[in-house]
Amino acid sequence: MTQMTRVRASSYALAAALLAGLAVPAAAAAAPHAPTGHGPASSHGRIPFTAATVTAHDNGSYTVEWKAPGLRHVAVRANGRTVASGGSAGRVTVRGLPAADRQWFDLVPERGGSLHLADRLIRLQGAVNFRDAGGYRTADGHWVKMGEIYRSDALDKLTPADLAKLRRLSVTTVFDLRMESERAAAPDRVPAGATHVVADVLAGSPTFTAMPATAAEAEAMMVDGEKFMVSGATAKKAYRTVFSGIGDDSARGVVFHCTAGKDRTGWANAALLTALGVPRSTVMADYLASNDYRAEANAAALASMPAAQAAVYKPLLDVRPAYLNSGFQEISETFGSFGAYEKQALGLDAKDVRALKRDLLVG
């Protein structure tokens, strides 16, 4: 199989394998919140937290965890009141909060800047991988704001309640990374007033017709597909459109999505987080999280196939370190550095990157 044939096959596999609802071969809440991570105390000096997360649970409780070396006291605030506290490292469970579209917490240290956080996942009836792009710490100690940029799987199954929630969360721009055939088969549903922008990464072609015959070939297709997302002409054009929108303050909150929210979307977020200075290990963890969010849907898809077919199909449904690493390797081989990739492929010069950091980072 030639490189071009493999890229074409990979493009087809990415599109065909990840249709909404994971189509397989025939053989087989209340309180609104401003759409911004500008928390009440997010700009009061250097943020001392080295790690922090919020996890929502099905029973309505929340787990809030943090690490802030050198501190003696951290207050956890929600809805204007202190709901828990701890020391330099803590893990608390918060119960009894009123229902909300998205529950926000402020981690307020005894000194330094606070963090304004929520669970990364936006719980929707019609999507399983709609999550915040932010909430991560950069290598130099800043934090990526939450509530500004989102990543998602397909939006065609969003319910009226989902659309109302996204409107209350002030989603204003949706970038659709899918091929024309995907868009035609499963048109996006977007919140009232939101702008829908097509940014077709793979720019579908009738020549994308070959499916893998073995698991190894499937994995190779995904690796080559990731490389195409970095250096393919249509991919560069699509991601340039997305990053132009992200850089437009009036366009936020921004959602970019494909069908499963893991490959084309995964690269978009990996590139964004890297541009903002998030360490590669964190970028990888965010990328691999699609395996967790999509676990139930992927398992159902594989269970519907004969075992031999499922073994071939599984690499198409997974995200794996080798896939993302191949994208960064393609940057090194084709552009020489990530900075060169930003400029030549994404259309971002040093001034643009500084503006992104100024707008999307706190601390």
The active-site residue out of 258, 270, 273, 331 is 258
Give me the residues paired with residue 198 across strands.
176
Q: How far apart are CA 186 and CA 184, in angstroms?
A: 6
3 state SS for the chain: CCHHHHHHHHHHHHHHHCCCCCCCCCCCCCECCCCCCCCCCCCCCCCCCCEEEEEECCCCCEEEEEECCCCCCEEEEECCEEEEEECCEEEEEECCCCCECCCEEEEEECCCCCEEEECCECCCCCCCCCEECCCCECCCCCEECCCCEEEECCCCCCCHHHHHHHHHCCCCEEEECCCHHHHHHCCCCCCCCCEEEECCCCCCCCCCCCCCCCHHHHHHHHHHHHHHHHHCHHHHHHHHHHHHHHCCHHHCCEEEECCCCCCHHHHHHHHHHHHCCCCHHHHHHHHHHHHHHCHHHHHHHHHCCCHHHHHHHHHHHCCCHHHHHHHHHHHHHHCCCHHHHHHHCCCCCHHHHHHHHHHHEEC
Q: How far apart are CA 288 and CA 111, in angstroms?
A: 34
Bond from prior residue into 253 cis (ω within 30 degrees of 0) = yes
Phi and psi at residue 75, to the nearest 5° = -100, 140
Q: Residue 92: which residues within 8 A CB-CB, separation 6 or more?
A: 63, 64, 65, 76, 84, 85, 86
Is 258 tagged catalytic? Answer: yes
* Catalytic residue IDs: 258
